[in-house]
């Protein structure tokens, strides 16, 4: 997949991994569209990017997704790259929580179902391009759950869906499907699980660009590769490694 002269949409692109990817793509001469729920944060991000547009949008809301799709069709008909990065993570005790269903519903909607919906809306645009790609940002916990139980489940679902979508689209279109699987990353998003001990989001962004250039469809960054290899060898050992210390 080419990494220059694309028109790229990045959901949740005003901070963290999404913003770092936006920075790299912007610097490489791509047209970048970032979305987020907070206009002030979007504006702050846009001040640090070139050739970029910000759209206030919440992927979990159907009306926002429909409006975003209409804007893309009208204003960005050359859209050829979508990076589904927006996410939701809630730390709670699954064994003692009275709100497990509501929490899981929130995470599954944002991290999984909203990705399917937005992909459905933008696929006609992507299919019309000479070269196009969908990137779903999952996680190391797509393979082995950590201390965010229903977040982990949502990313496992996204991983499975991404594989199915890749197979279906490579048979019927020129749309490539990538999955970016970061380990723990030092972002505001991961602060609830000691994100300060994670890798820099800029590292994730650069590894993503490198993988995009070489059509490496499953992008297992840093510790994710280690956990993936361990899981294939011993699922129980990998599970034990991923559990938080008590």
Angle at 227 between CA 224 and CA 233, to 5 degrees: 145
- Known catalytic membership, residue 231: no
CA–CA distances in Å: residue 110 to residues 64, 77, 114, 154: 13, 25, 5, 9
155: enclosing H helix or E strand:
helix 149-172
* Spatial distance between the Cα atoms of 33 and 40, rounded to a whole number of angstroms: 16
Spacing of C-alpha 8 from chain mean position: 13
Q: Exactly one of 92, 112, 151, 161 is catalytic; which is it?
A: 151
Q: Which two tokens stand for residue 59?
A: 């992927």
* Residues belonging to the active site: 151
């Amino acid at each position: 997949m080419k990494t220059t002269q694309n028109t790229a949409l990045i959901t949740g692109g005003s901070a963290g991994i999404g913003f770092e990817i936006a920075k790299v793509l912007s610097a490489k001469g791509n047209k970048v569209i970032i979305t987020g729920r907070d206009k002030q944060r979007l504006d702050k991000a846009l001040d640090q990017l070139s050739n970029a547009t910000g759209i206030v949008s919440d992927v979990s809301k159907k009306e926002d997704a429909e409006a975003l799709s209409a804007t893309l069709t009208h204003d960005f008909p050359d859209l050829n790259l979508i990076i589904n990065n927006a996410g939701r993570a809630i730390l709670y005790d699954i064994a003692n929580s009275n709100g497990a269903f509501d929490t899981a519903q929130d995470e599954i909607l944002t991290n999984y179902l909203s990705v399917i919906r937005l992909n459905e809306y933008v696929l006609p645009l992507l299919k019309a391009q000479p070269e196009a790609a969908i990137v779903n940002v999952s996680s190391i916990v797509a393979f082995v759950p950590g201390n965010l139980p229903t977040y982990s489940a949502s990313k496992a679902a996204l991983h499975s869906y991404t594989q199915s979508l890749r197979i279906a689209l490579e048979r019927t279109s020129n749309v490539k499907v990538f999955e970016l699987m970061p380990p723990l990353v030092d972002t505001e998003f991961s602060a609830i699980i000691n994100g300060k001990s994670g890798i820099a989001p800029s590292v994730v962004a650069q590894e993503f660009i490198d993988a995009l250039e070489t059509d490496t469809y499953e992008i297992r960054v840093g510790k994710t590769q280690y956990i993936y290899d361990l899981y294939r060898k011993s699922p129980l050992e990998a599970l034990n490694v991923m559990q938080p210390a008590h």
